[in-house]
A = this chain, B = another copy of it.
Amino acid sequence: MIERIVLKWRRYMLPIVVGVSAFVGQLAFASEGGDGGGGHGHFAVLFLWIAILLLLAKLSSLVERWGQPSVLGELVMGVILGNLALFGVTDFFEAMKHSEIITFFAELGVVILLFQIGLESNIAEMKKVGARALGVAIIGVVVPFVLGAYIVGPWLMPGLDQVAYLFLGAAMTATSVGITARVFKDLGKLQIKEAQIILGAAVIDDVMGLIILAVVSAIATVGAVTLGKISMITGTAILFLVGSIVIGQLSAKVLGKWFSKIHTGVAMKFTLAIVFALVFSWLAGLIGLAPIVGAFAAGLVLDPVHFKYFKDPKIVQDVKEYAEKIDPELKDKFSRMMHRHSHRHIEDLIEPLGHFFVPIFFIVTGMAVNLGTLTNIPILLVALGVTIAAFVGKLVSGLAAGNVDKWLVGWGMAPRGEVGLIFATIGKGLGVVSDEVFSVIIIMVIFTTLFTPPILSHILKKKEA
């Protein structure tokens, strides 16, 4: 009975839930003013917000029914929530958009996602594709930059200051790897060579993005940039990456042993892993790289072997014990079989954190999309041209990927996400990026972000078939 109703009403479920949430939200918002008096519940409304975000994220995974990756559902859900103002519902989600705590949850979400991706990746595999990733990254930075700063920019928006074109080009270089990584993860394809190349290229991209940002900012403020400054930024970033991986690998071994002296339980194992992720993210942020680069490096560095001094998960112990009770020989068989699960245990421990934080990142990313920018037709047309150039620039980069699906790598590099927005925001802050150029960049980011997941998912599924 209930099944029948659910099946029948499934198509209406999304709008109904969004509507009900918005109503409950209004209620919560209204009630926030009058605290019952207990002094409790200062943060109570945040509990509700997080619950609603997680619920809507899961409901939006219904897009899987139509063959789309669930990350697209989360992004679109975010776009809907972020633009409810267009439908006359404002208060609740507006307040959520400006909540520092929700923003931090989102930031932590993408850090944990890249940490998970790093844990599933493998340094040896990454090294194998290193040269190709470098090639993809360089082409994927140079071509979009040249297209944006010297061809499409001056052509579609003539008469602007040269620095504005530089910022446009710079905003077109960055890759936002979170979206691509999530699509590969959703489809269980993180281990294929293309995924490894994209991940490697994205990390290198972030380093190059750092350099480009320093250069164009310097040109915008003092009119020039010294080679010394460029070398210093480049040197610091490379030193961080190489250093963190080398020192990380060495210290993980020692720390694993050290921590297991205090306690060999699950809590300690979990803490060791998450502290690695957080400290690496902090270090990356400290030198101006994206924290996610640090989180990815932390995941890459950590290896099951570093946790060998800790106890097996309870369930693995139980199975071994039980098998031994039945037959000692059976125990050996099951021990071999359970080996993989002990190895995966760290990933299993981080997974619930992922379920908690990661969807918030993608919904919040979607919420940042202002559909209002799409209503100005002349700007929209310019932005479409810039978007095409942005896609072309990254698709070309796939050519450097060697003997793999170049098309897949090219599309994988396409999403610009929040990194493009950072360039636009800084340029605006420096007064060289006008409102129009800013809107153009934002629309380009929206399109590259929203169009890529279904395309990637389509390619991956066709490949499999």
Chain A interface residues (CB < 8 Å from chain B): 2-3, 6-7, 10, 28, 31, 35-48, 50-51, 54-55, 57-59, 61-62, 64, 100-101, 103-104, 107-108, 111, 210, 213-214, 217, 254, 257-259, 261-263, 266-268, 270-271, 274-275, 278-279, 281-282, 284-291, 315-316, 318-319, 322, 326, 330, 333-334, 337-338, 341, 349-353, 355-356, 422, 425-426
- Considering the complex, give the chain B residue whose CB is closest to the CB of A60: B262
Cβ distance A431 to chain B, nearest Cβ, rounded Å: 16
In this complex, the member of A58, A284, A291, A341 whose beta carbon has the largest number of chain B beta carbons within 10 angstroms is A58
In-complex Cβ contact of A213 among B37, B47, B426 (8 A): B37
Given A254-B2, A275-B51, are A44 and B285 neighbors across the interface (CB < 8 Å)?
A: yes
A315 lies within 8 A of B341 (CB): yes
Taking a contact as CB atoms closer than 8 A, the residue among B2, B36, B100, B281 that contacts A286 in the complex is B36
Q: Is there contact, CB below 8 Å, between A279 and B47? A: yes
CA distance A7 to B258 in the complex (A): 10
A281 with B47: CB separation less than 8 A: yes
Which partner residue on chain B sits nearest A3 by CB separation?
Answer: B261
Give the interface centre of A40, A42, A271, A356 by most chain B CB atoms within 10 Å. A40
Q: Give me 26 A-to-B residue pairs in the complex whose CB atoms sit less than 8 angstroms apart, sorted by A's number.
A: A2-B258, A3-B261, A35-B288, A36-B286, A36-B287, A39-B213, A39-B426, A40-B285, A40-B290, A43-B107, A44-B291, A47-B285, A48-B278, A48-B279, A51-B278, A54-B271, A57-B271, A58-B263, A100-B100, A101-B104, A266-B351, A266-B355, A267-B355, A315-B316, A326-B330, A353-B356
Docked complex Cα distance between A214 and B10 (Å): 45
Beta-carbon contact of B351 and A104 below 8 Å: no
